């Protein structure tokens, strides 16, 4: 049994279920007094509050099926239906498919780092806590503000999508009227708790996946000539793979837009604290990321490129759902009224996306508040008796009013720039998470611990996280390359403004809090672990190994008897 024998040595943090049973033994052996265990209030999980995460105060209400479906389809937004048309028009079908594949590989690399950190440390404040412990708190603050700004712009964009789509059906109600209705609805919905959110996202994600499957079948029939009076055309639209541009320019043009479609795959780093069985749910969700990349994003981009010419006039002459590749394909196949079906699909997707954006943004604020990265941190970290972070939820949802900027003629341009300003933030946050995992792994090994003790190990370490860090930074730098010639200073500044903002945030916080780069020997490698779940996982693994060994012995005995 591991024991804390001296005050200046690392402590092994036990969950309260085990600690309460062992407290008498500790006292009898005279190793340490119960009250002398450090950070007791932040690491123990008592039998009465086991459903509440002790670090954040959030309720552990997400089941394995919630987490896995949310990872598979929960973050798919209207951009996958509407914005993909703009990307197809600007870059051509080959650029669309290739960019979805490139960013998909980056997303999978990121998930490996997230898996290793969050399976081991589920009871923490997400990646902001990991960066504070393994890198530098100023670095964590800089990354967290990037992430918060990213989701503020996403929320405004999603609100704009759902309101403008509904207004195309019923223009009698002004856009701000729709916005106020939905803003009130989503605010109230947050108070229903994380279990309700998880259940809603489970069914919405399932619906989105079913709709995409139906569209794939339609494209297959359409391209093979199964639609009456429509000849088979196969991959004819790929005869002009890069549109009107050169290959490199087409890839660079589409890259930033594609990256926004993958935003949210890092959700597992935020909802680990609210997951009942993170050791089981997170690895499953990570494996399903491959399915999401291949089935949804590669499948959609390929289907769009097959069924819709990149130079379709609807991409320029239409707005909203009318320029969605899904609608253009249905129209070209002879169903002009298919816009109502596509509109319905967009509204449902937007509902899910707004809900997810508020959830992620709220948890980001709570995590930052618990890490003392915000003014009035204690105020923003408040949760009610049901584990709902009501202050953070209301505060983040208030940023959705930015969507009303799109109502004014002049303000709509500013709104467009504002939504696009966080393009670099996606790649930056992903690189920061992978870099943090590399720092953690080195600290873990240098402390004398074994990699075999990790409940989830990053695949092909260190090559995968190095790949993630390098290419995320590379793509962050080249995303504004197309605006250099001819030089478009507005879009160029829009692409790169977050670089100076990030550095300012880093140095201001570092000076204000006098933070230091965390040394490997000073890393806290125990807080945030749920040793109760680790013991269960180890026991299950041992039982599985014993069953395999028993089976092999039986087979060996059987063959020896035959021989």
Tokens, residue 28:
């009898």
Q: Which two tokens stand for residue 103?
A: 């960013």
Query: Could you tell me if 482 and 253 are in contact, meaning their C-beta atoms sit under 8 angstroms apart?
Result: yes
Secondary structure, 3-state, 52-116? ECCCCCCECCECHHHHHHHHHHHCCCHHHCCHHHHHHHHHCHHHHHHHHHHHHHHHHHHHHHHHH
Nearby residues of 177 by Cβ (< 8 Å), 6 or more positions away = none
Note the pLDDT of residue 50: 56
Phi and psi at residue 481, to the nearest 5° = -60, -35
Cβ neighbourhood burial of 234 (10 Å; 0-12, 13-18, 19+)? exposed
What angle separates helix 325-332 from helix 194-223, to the nearest 10 degrees?
Answer: 40
Domains within the chain, CATH numbers bracketed: 64-522 (1.20.1740.10)
Q: Is 533 helix (H, G, I), strand (E, B) or coil?
A: helix
List CB contacts of 396: < 8 A, sequence separation 6 or more. 151, 152, 155, 358, 361, 362, 364, 365
Which of 207, 244, 215 has its CA nearest to residue 93?
244
Distance separating alpha carbons of residues 100 and 303, to the nearest angstrom: 13
Specify the 3-state DSSP secondary structure of 458.
Answer: coil
> Contact at 8 Å (CB) between 138 and 420?
no
How many helices and strands in the chain, by DSSP H and E?
24, 0
- Tokens 């996958």 correspond to what residue? 80
pLDDT in tens, the chain (563 residues): 333 333 333 333 433 333 333 344 444 444 444 444 344 334 433 333 456 656 656 666 676 666 666 666 656 777 788 888 888 988 899 999 999 999 889 989 998 999 899 888 887 778 888 999 999 999 999 999 999 999 998 888 888 888 888 887 888 888 889 999 999 999 998 888 777 877 888 888 888 888 889 999 999 999 999 998 889 999 999 988 888 778 888 888 888 778 878 887 887 777 666 677 777 777 877 877 777 778 888 888 999 999 999 988 888 776 666 778 998 999 889 888 888 888 888 888 888 888 888 988 998 999 899 888 988 888 998 888 777 888 999 999 999 998 888 776 556 676 667 767 777 888 999 999 999 999 999 999 999 999 988 988 999 999 999 999 999 999 888 877 777 777 888 888 888 888 999 999 999 999 999 999 999 999 999 888 876 566 665 665 555 566 666 766 766 666 665 55
What whole-number distance in Å separates Cα of residue 73 and Cα of residue 1? 43
Helix (H, G, I), strand (E, B) or coil at 525: coil
pTM for this predicted structure: 0.82
CA 426/CA 476 separation, integer angstroms = 8
Q: Is the dihedral of CA 467, 473, 477, 481 positive or negative?
A: positive
């Amino acid at each position: 049994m591991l024991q804390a024998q001296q005050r200046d040595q690392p402590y092994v943090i036990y969950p309260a279920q085990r600690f309460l049973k062992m407290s008498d033994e500790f006292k009898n052996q005279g190793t340490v007094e119960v009250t002398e265990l450090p950070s007791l209030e932040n690491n123990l999980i008592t039998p009465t509050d086991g459903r509440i995460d002790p670090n954040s105060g959030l309720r552990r209400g997400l089941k394995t099926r919630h987490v896995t479906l949310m990872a598979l389809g929960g973050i798919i937004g209207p951009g996958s239906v509407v914005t993909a048309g703009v990307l197809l028009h600007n870059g051509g079908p080959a650029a669309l498919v290739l960019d979805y594949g490139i960013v998909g590989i980056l997303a999978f690399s990121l998930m490996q780092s997230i898996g290793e950190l969050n399976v081991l440390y589920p009871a923490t404040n997400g990646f902001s806590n990991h960066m504070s412990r393994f890198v530098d708190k100023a670095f964590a603050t800089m990354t967290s503000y990037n992430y918060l700004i990213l989701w503020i712009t996403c929320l405004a964009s999603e609100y704009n999508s759902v309101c403008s789509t509904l207004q195309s059906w019923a223009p009698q109600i002004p856009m701000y009227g729709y916005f106020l209705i939905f803003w009130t609805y989503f605010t109230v919905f947050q108070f229903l708790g994380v279990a309700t959110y998880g259940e809603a996202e489970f069914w919405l994600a399932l619906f989105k996946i079913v709709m995409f499957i139906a569209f794939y079948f339609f494209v297959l029939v359409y391209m093979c000539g199964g639609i009456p009076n429509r000849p088979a055309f196969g991959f004819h639209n790929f005869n002009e793979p890069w549109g009107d541009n050169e290959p490199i320019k087409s890839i660079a043009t589409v890259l930033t837009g594609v990256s926004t479609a993958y935003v949210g795959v890092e959700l597992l780093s935020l909802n680990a604290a609210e997951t009942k069985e993170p050791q089981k749910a997170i690895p499953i969700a990570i494996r399903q990321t491959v399915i999401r990349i291949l089935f949804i994003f590669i499948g959609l981009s390929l289907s769009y490129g097959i069924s819709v010419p990149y130079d379709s006039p609807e991409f320029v002459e239409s707005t909203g759902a009318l320029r969605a590749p899904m609608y253009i394909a249905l129209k070209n196949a002879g169903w002009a009224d298919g816009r109502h079906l596509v509109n319905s699909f967009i509204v449902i997707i937007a509902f899910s996306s707004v809900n997810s954006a508020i959830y992620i943004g709220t948890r980001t604020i709570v995590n930052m508040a618990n890490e003392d990265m915000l003014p009035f941190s204690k105020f923003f970290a408040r949760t009610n008796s049901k584990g709902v972070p009501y202050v953070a939820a209301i505060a983040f949802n208030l940023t959705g009013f930015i969507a009303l900027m799109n109502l004014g003629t002049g303000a709509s341009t500013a709104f467009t720039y504002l939504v696009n300003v966080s393009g670099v933030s996606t790649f930056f946050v992903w690189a920061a998470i992978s870099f943090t995992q590399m720092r953690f792994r080195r600290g873990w090994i240098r402390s004398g611990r074994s990699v075999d003790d990790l409940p989830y190990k990053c695949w092909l370490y260190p090559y995968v996280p190095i790949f993630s860090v390098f290419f995320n930074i590379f793509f962050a730098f080249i995303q504004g390359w197309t605006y250099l010639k001819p030089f478009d200073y507005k879009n160029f500044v829009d692409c790169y403004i977050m670089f100076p903002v990030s550095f300012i945030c880093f140095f201001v916080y570092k000076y204000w809090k006098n933070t230091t780069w965390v040394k490997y020997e000073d890393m806290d490698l125990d807080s945030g672990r749920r040793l109760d779940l680790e013991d269960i996982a180890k026991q299950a693994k041992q039982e599985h190994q014993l069953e395999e060994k028993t089976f092999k012995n039986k087979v060996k005995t059987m063959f020896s008897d035959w021989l």
